[in-house]
Amino acid sequence: MEKPIIGIPAARQLVGDSYKNTVNQGEVAAITKAGGVPVLIPTREPDLAADYSKLFDGLLLPGGPDVAPRFFGEEPLPEMDEADDRLDATEIELIKLAVAAGKPMLGICRGAQVVNIALGGDIYQDIAKQIAHQTYQHHQKAPYNQGSHYVDITEGSMLQTIFQGQQHVLVNSYHHQAVRKLSPQLKLTAKAGDGVAEAVESKDNNLILAVQWHPELMYKENAAEYAIFEDFIKRVKEA
């Protein structure tokens, strides 16, 4: 495979008085630099997920809005932000289809949460509210390209290889939700010192790597963050 096609589900964004289908430039630029061809996947018609899934070799699940809690069997807490259930339904279907077809995935922030939900896990709707002890500032006020809290990386994980054996890594953080009950198909491969889940990977293969932080906002200054995208394109080429 020369240049793999990477599908990126588009968010619904209100611009002026009309809705647009949008993907962040950070992910598009990082995938392109790593040798992939990014393709925007509209998410307004969940019934078309199977048709869209034929169009790409790998799936990038980007950051985005909160996931509607009905997708993991809960009612919304007051701390929930706006959710987009068509985005949720489309991504969940695309993830299931990608697993079935053996297509590699990279999840970023929301992507880590939605991949866990799609495969039978759930999330905290609001970590500050739902975790009993005091958590770190996971919605950082520092600039997005700046790391703000550390994560501890699990030995023997894909992440450890990507970070060349480093176990304690400074990452950025821009989330108020996080993986809670882990999918039986996933393992936890990084967590913050306060116990918040920061990365998950497939248990039995190398199809899925998903991080809770935003490498697309750090990769220009940080070689290991860029290596997350290089590793993804390599996984897609080898699948």
Could you say which residues in the range 34-63 bind Mn ion, by CB under 5 A?
Answer: none
State the maximum Cα–Cα separation within the chain, in Å, rounded to a whole number.
49
Could you say which residues in the range 117-176 bind Mn ion, by CB under 5 A?
Answer: 138, 173
**151 HSE (CA, 13 A, CB side):** 23
**Angle, helix 25-33 to helix 223-238, in steps of 10 degrees:** 70
3-state secondary structure of 14: strand
Name which of 103 and 191 has its Cβ closer to Mn ion: 191
Question: What minimum distance in Å lies between the beta carbon of 172 and Mn ion?
Answer: 8
Question: What minimum distance in Å lies between the beta carbon of 59 and Mn ion?
Answer: 23
Question: What minimum distance in Å lies between the beta carbon of 61 and Mn ion?
Answer: 17
From residue 123, give the alpha-carbon distance in Å to each of 6, 70, 80, 112, 180.
26, 11, 12, 10, 4
Q: Is 109 a catalytic residue?
A: yes
Per the residue annotation, which of 109, 138, 149, 176 is the catalytic one?
A: 109
Based on its alpha-carbon atoms, the radius of gyration of the chain, rounded to whole angstroms, reads 16
Question: Is residue 113 within the footprint of Mn ion (CB under 5 A)?
Answer: no
Q: Total residues at the site for Mn ion (CB under 5 A)?
A: 2
Residue burial 134-160, b: 16+ Cβ < 10 Å; e: rest: ebbebebeeeebebbbbbebbeebbbb
Handedness of CA 78, 81, 87, 91 (dihedral sign): negative
Question: What minimum distance in Å lies between the beta carbon of 138 and Mn ion?
Answer: 4
Whole-angstrom distance, CA of residue 107 vs CA of residue 178: 13
Q: Is 230 a catalytic residue?
A: no
Question: What minimum distance in Å lies between the beta carbon of 100 and Mn ion?
Answer: 30
DSSP assignment letter at 83:
B
Residues that bind Mn ion (CB under 5 A): 138, 173
Q: Catalytic positions, please?
A: 109, 214, 216
